[in-house]
């Protein structure tokens, strides 16, 4: 076991550098009291094992489903839907297990992954456009609602959710572009998502005043 003289911690794994201060570790055992530091590598190995196990099972099951779909083909490659779902859950599991990933980033990644999965399913089923017309704007509205809930739950640090609001506005503006290009044929949900996102962002900036301005300067240097 090694210890860091500067941080007064003992490190349980075989690393030679302190994970806190990056100081070179020394062999412990001189009787000085130290605080134990967890075996970081063991945690990483456990998470990696879970991901590998999931990947193996997903590949085996998907291969079996693809074979059944091939030999009993009825006009729809439904095995591609299950493959898309497996991929989405892999991404969700990967970012859920990573403790160094902030919960805001996890929420955004999961929403983006879910939208991408639904769009893929829409294309697999022959593309009727419902994924872009309704699911995409609905995901933006869901992000707006999520931000409001997070702000209410964390009133002392509400300004930290401004980047998520800006992301919602940018995503809604992209939907307007998709409508102009003809990919979206039912613009009402898109304009509703844009209006809600813009109103929420403007309300936050106007009511937040100094805190909102300070957050913008800190995040974007403006």
Q: Which range, of 52-66, 101-115, 129-143, 202-216, averages the lowest pLDDT?
A: 101-115
Q: For position 14, what pLDDT does the model report? A: 67
**Gyration radius of the chain over CA positions:** 24
Which of residues 106 and 164 earns the better pLDDT score? Answer: 164
- Segment 98-102 mean pLDDT: 62
Q: For position 104, what pLDDT does the model report? A: 83
Q: For position 211, what pLDDT does the model report? A: 85
Q: For position 141, what pLDDT does the model report? A: 95
Q: For position 185, what pLDDT does the model report? A: 93
Q: In the sheet where 35-37 sits, what is the strand order?
A: 26-27, 2-4, 9-11, 35-37
Q: How confident is the model at residue 93 (pLDDT cuts 50, 70, 90)?
A: confident
Q: Is the pLDDT reported for residue 32 higher than 60? A: no
Tens digits of per-residue pLDDT, 118-136? 999 999 888 899 999 999 9
Q: Is the pLDDT reported for residue 17 higher than 80? A: no
Q: For position 182, what pLDDT does the model report? A: 93
Q: Which range, of 28-32, 58-62, 92-96, 214-218, averages the lowest pLDDT?
A: 28-32
Q: Is the pLDDT reported for residue 33 higher than 70? A: no
Average pLDDT value for the chain: 84
Backbone angles phi, psi at 98, to 5 degrees: -80, 110
Q: How confident is the model at residue 137 (pLDDT cuts 50, 70, 90)?
A: very high
Q: For position 29, what pLDDT does the model report? A: 58
**Are 42 and 48 a contacting pair, CB within 8 Å?**
no
Tens digits of per-residue pLDDT, 171-211? 999 999 999 999 999 999 999 999 999 999 999 999 888 88
**Are 11 and 1 a contacting pair, CB within 8 Å?**
yes
Q: Is the pLDDT reported for residue 99 higher than 60? A: no
Q: For position 201, what pLDDT does the model report? A: 94
**Are 190 and 161 a contacting pair, CB within 8 Å?**
no
Structure tokens at 24: 């070179």
> Pick from 80, 79, 94: which is nearest to 44 by CA?
94
């Amino acid at each position: 076991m090694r210890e860091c003289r500067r941080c007064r911690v003992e490190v349980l794994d075989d690393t030679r550098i302190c994970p806190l201060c990056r100081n070179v570790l020394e062999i412990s055992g001189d009787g000085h009291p130290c605080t134990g530091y967890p075996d970081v590598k063991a945690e990483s190995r456990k998470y990696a094992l879970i991901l590998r196990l999931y990947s193996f099972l997903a590949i085996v099951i998907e291969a079996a489903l693809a074979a059944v779909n091939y030999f009993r083909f009825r006009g729809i490659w439904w095995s591609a839907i299950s493959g898309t779902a497996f991929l989405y859950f892999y991404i969700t599991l990967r970012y859920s297990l990573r403790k160094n990933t902030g919960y805001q980033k996890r929420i955004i990644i999961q929403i983006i992954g879910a939208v991408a999965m639904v769009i893929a399913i829409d294309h697999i089923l022959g593309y009727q456009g419902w994924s872009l017309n309704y699911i995409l704007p609905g995901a933006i509205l869901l992000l707006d609602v999520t931000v409001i809930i997070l702000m209410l739950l964390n009133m002392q640090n509400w300004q930290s959710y401004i980047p998520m609001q800006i992301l919602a506005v940018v995503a809604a503006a992209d939907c307007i572009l998709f409508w102009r290009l003809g990919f979206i044929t039912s613009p009402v949900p898109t304009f509703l998502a844009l209006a809600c996102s813009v109103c929420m962002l403007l309300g936050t900036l106007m009511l937040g005043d100094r805190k909102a301005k300070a957050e913008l300067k800190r995040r974007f240097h403006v």
